[in-house]
Amino acid sequence: MTAVAKVIVDVPTMQTDKPFDYAIPAALAGQIQPGMRVWVQFGRGARQVAGMVVAVNAAADYDGDLKPILAVLDYTPVLNAEGLALSQWLAQTTFAFWITCIQTMLPTMLKIETIKTAVLGPKPTPAAQALLGDRAGLPLADLDEAATAQVLRLVQSGALTLHYARKDRATVKTQDYVVPDAEADYAALRVAVRPNATKQLQLLDLLAQWQAAHETPAVAAVTADTGLVRADLVAGAKRGWLTLEAREVYRAPYAQLDDQPHTAPLTLTSAQAAVTTAIQAAVTATRAETFLLEGVTGSGKTEVYLQVIAAALAQGRNAMMLVPEIALTPQMVHRVKGRFGATVAVMHSGLSDGEKFDEWRRIQRGEARVVVGARSAAFAPLTNIGVFIIDEEHESSYKQDDAPRYHARDVILHRAATHHAPVVLGSATPSLESRARAAKQVYTPLMLPQRINAHPMPTVHIVDMRDAYKRGGKDDFSKDLLDALALRLARGEQSVLLLNRRGYSSFVMCRECGFVVQCPNCDISLTLHMDTHTLRCHYCGHEEPIPTVCPSCGSKKIRYYGTGTQKVEQSLHTLLPEARVLRMDVDTTRRKGGHERILSAFGAGEADILLGTQMIAKGLDFPNVTLVGVINADTGLGMPDFRASERTFQLLTQVSGRAGRADKRGEVFIQSFNPEHYAIQFAQHHDYEGFFRHEMTIRHRGDYPPYYFTTKLTVSHPDEDEAAKAIFSLAAQLRKALSPTAIVLGPTPGAIARLKNRYFYQLVIKYKREPQLDQTLKAILDETQAASRNGFFVAIDREPQNFM
Ligand code: ADP
Ligand code: ZN
Ligand code: ZN
**CATH number of the domain enclosing 791:** 3.30.70.600
* Under 8 Å between Cβ of 625 and 659: yes
The verdict on 281 and 359 lying in the same domain is yes
**Where in the sequence is the domain holding 644, given as residue range(s)?**
459-502+564-699
The phi, psi pair for 165, rounded to 5°, reads -135, 165
Confidence band (pLDDT; 50, 70, 90) for 531?
low
Q: Which of 379, 438, 369, 442 is nearest to 414 (CA)?
A: 379
Least Cα distance to 633 among 569, 667, 666, 677 occurs for 677
Best residue among 269, 303, 655, 686 to mutate for probing ligand 1's pocket (most ligand atoms within 8 Å of CB) is 303
Check pocket membership of 180 for ligand 1, CB cut-off 6 A. Answer: no
Looking at residue 562, its pLDDT comes to 56
Q: What is the pLDDT of residues 717-762, one digit of tens each?
A: 999 999 999 999 999 999 999 999 999 988 888 877 788 888 999 9
102 and 61 co-located in one domain: yes
Q: Based on the fold, state whether residues 463 and 577 are members of the same structural domain.
A: yes
Cis peptide before 404 (omega within 30 of 0): yes
Indicate if ligand 1 lies below 6 Å from the C-beta of 329: no
Same domain for 122 and 95, yes or no, is: no
437/468 same-domain check: no
Sorted by sequence, the CB contacts under 8 Å of residue 572 that are 6+ apart come out as 579, 581, 609, 611
Distance in Å, CA 362 to ligand 1 centroid: 30
65 compared with 619, residue with greater pLDDT = 65
Q: Are 668 and 459 in contact (CB under 8 A)?
A: yes
Count other C-beta atoms under 10 Å from residue 502's C-beta.
19
Q: How far is the CA of 613 from the centre of ligand 1 (A)?
A: 24
Query: Where does 546-684 have alpha helices with state H?
Result: 565-575, 594-603, 644-656, 678-684
275, 277, 293, 302, best to mutate for ligand 1 pocket (most atoms within 8 Å of CB)? 302
How many C-beta neighbours within 10 Å does residue 133 have? Answer: 7
- Whether 48 is covered by a domain: the verdict is yes
Going from the C-alpha of 370 to that of each of 84, 301, 320, 621, the distances in angstroms are: 22, 17, 6, 23
Give yes or no: residues 439 and 298 share one domain.
Answer: yes
**Same-domain status, 402 and 491:** no
165-195 pLDDT tens trace: 888 777 888 889 999 998 899 999 999 889 8
pLDDT band at 304 (very low <50, low <70, confident <90, very high): very high
Number of domains in the chain: 7
Mutate to test the pocket of ligand 1, among 267, 452, 621 (most ligand atoms within 8 A of CB): 452
Rounded to the nearest angstrom, the distance between the alpha carbon of 752 and the centre of ligand 3 is 23
Residue 804 falls within a domain, yes or no? no
Closest Cα to atom 5, ligand 1: which residue?
300
Mean pLDDT (whole number) for 189-214: 92
751 C-alpha to center of ligand 2: Å? 14
Atom of ligand 1 nearest to the CA of 297: 4
Given a cut of 60, is residue 787 above it in pLDDT? no
Backbone phi and psi for residue 107, each to the nearest 5 degrees, phi listed first: -65, 150
Kind and range of the H or E run holding 631? none
Query: pTM for this one?
Result: 0.86
pLDDT above 70: residue 59: no
**Are 555 and 570 part of one and the same domain?**
no
Q: Which ligand is nearest to the CA of 558?
A: 3
Same domain, 74 and 136: no
- CA 529 to ligand 2 centroid distance, Å: 15
Q: Is 303 in the pocket of ligand 1 (CB under 6 A)?
A: yes
What per-residue confidence (pLDDT) applies to 302? 94
- Alpha carbon of 508 to ligand 3 centroid (Å): 11
- Give percent above pLDDT 70 in the chain: 96
- Rg of the chain over all Cα atoms, to the nearest angstrom: 31
Q: Which ligand has an atom closest to residue 542 CA?
A: 2
Q: Find the DSSP H helices in 420-564.
A: 432-439, 479-491
Report which protein residue has its CA nearest ligand 1's atom 20. 300
**Euclidean distance between CA atoms 674 and 676, whole angstroms:** 6
Q: What is the pLDDT of residues 255-281, one digit of tens each?
A: 878 888 889 999 999 999 999 999 999
